[in-house]
Structure 1
């Protein structure tokens, strides 16, 4: 393979990228609509992939420790075969009887607590959260929504209204109230995280009611990803759910990013806390990159809505989407994915902790399974975010052909979120390269 590293773009926007890539970027900027961005400062054109690896046009192998959409692996042969076989047969929608659709729903629901027994199939995580909120409002008669301060739940107009991560240019709804992320460092002396979060929810509910809004739902990403990744201590969600139910609202667990065993010790992030949501949303890894998402309901929450409101998604639940999603479940069963994630995730976290133990620039490492956050600060005694150093680490890793990203309100948390296809050899390669970068920047 070529040893050539990616070309850089300087501060003035001048580029020594290959002419072919420059041409693609120029044409892209001419024809694509507003808002499109590259995932990396220095674009790379990938032409093939496998497992947790992306291959560029020159044959360079990049380790993908960021893109969990291809959960069971880029170009997984079993998923490819299932989709191709179904495409060659038919691709009907949910208005027609499909035995594979029913069988898939039965298999997927078997991974949930028995209380969660009904499944709807949109296409994207944004659509899933949009439907979840719609049903919650119908069921409760309320309009109020509670989310965390830097949450991201999607990009439809409705869902964007409670996704503060989109920034000041995307206004929040007047019926939306924000609470702290579950960061134990925000607790006052002697207060548990559960108590702190309960107080936050009580205050939000009271303020909604003061302004004439009955609570419809609290929605929470089970890994609190965009807030900076907070998964522990296990059990803190109990108090939150109790407060929401006491006010007549519903708890929506957003598993679009954290679901499908990404956290390692369970199939779904909410399960770690021993709570049962009223609604669960999912997407991304559900179809291994194929556009399919899901909303799972308690029957008492969804049944009346289904009787009085016609919900239909033209592309959601089509035969090919179901084939992709079913193949993903096959892989989970055949490859013992959850167990592999738990083992490799523990090794990855232990390695990161060892490599950063003496660094004054690492405040802490958080997360579970193959879903980890490394908080970068100017000094761990002061905890002032250092987004510039965080970005430098990401770029240096990228120069060594390892892909990660960042998260958190200040953009100072390294987001290490590989697909669940990550192997023990992938973990070893990641840690070897991270050690080189850490020696320079940490």
Structure 2
């Protein structure tokens, strides 16, 4: 009986030891099984700050299919803003674009060869119905050829801070579907990115050009040919996966990429951006997106984690040289609001980052210093180390507030500075003399 108990005890101990290897550890991403996603990769970010609140395989490079068109949209919007092209500019349809627009099994609005279409018509065909031929027509307009436009896409991706990407066409189609119109040797190439980079592209698109949402939220496009073309984002109002507050952004699907969706939703002023990549079916990508959005709104809320004029204990002042005062109080210039897990406000602590360019070699600020002058920033970090960070990787730009001087420190006049210098000199001399005399005994 004792032998059986000992064996049972040993077995139980081994079982617990093995299972502990799979236990959640602080700082790890939330367990992938928690949300029950079918997608191979996913991410959720705050649409205002870029703060990441959930990720699954966010750095895995996967096909993006028509989500590529977000980059084309960005460049078109940038070209309009710079005056390079205009919304009412006419674009004449060439033979290739016409043939592509009638290719079987591709998403398109029909474009007639030799006919003129405005940039706005082509943009809406691309943004609402994911029109591939319309996308190519815009790429050719901006850069003269799609091949040149692809170079611009990759250059822009680098400028936007994306890390893992490759664009080989403007549409997200497989190159083999482009009727032979692709650079030599690239037939088997595909557009790829990570969920993290896709979210960052979406973040920049809707923050730099918020007007894109006015097109992205259109459920059905009435085109000049009299037909109505549906938006493939079935989470928009009136469609079968309708979700309150969804107003974008871009779906994608090819044999290589599987089914993907970049969604964006806003409720009570809180916007989130979600990405799912390589989901298992056309419907499942929206089920996955719904799970992400439910998780975001159900588990997180925007909270004031630091009030305005907040001073961090032990770091509430900085030394000052050449001033009427030898230190200056520092504080946050405004309140810091962040999206955090519900009822977890006490899990955050302030972190002060001083702008080293403001300090001399002795770590001092130099007077004069004006009240409100920026000397660094304050952000927060979790006490247990659980923190996904920000999509742009810079807390100074998002999720932080300025650290400023709470008072003015005027520069001392020349006489006071001279007396200080003299006093400092004699203090040094006295110190050296005292040390020497002490050494005699």
Q: Is TM (by shorter chain) over 0.5?
A: no
- Name which structure has the greater RCO, CA cutoff 8 Å, separation 6+: 1
Question: TM-score normalized by structure 1?
Answer: 0.26
Structure (1/2) with the larger helix percentage:
1
Q: Higher strand fraction: Structure 1 or Structure 2?
A: 2
TM-score of the two chains, using structure 2 as the length reference: 0.26
Q: Looking at CA atoms only, which structure, 1 or 2, has the larger radius of gyration?
A: 2
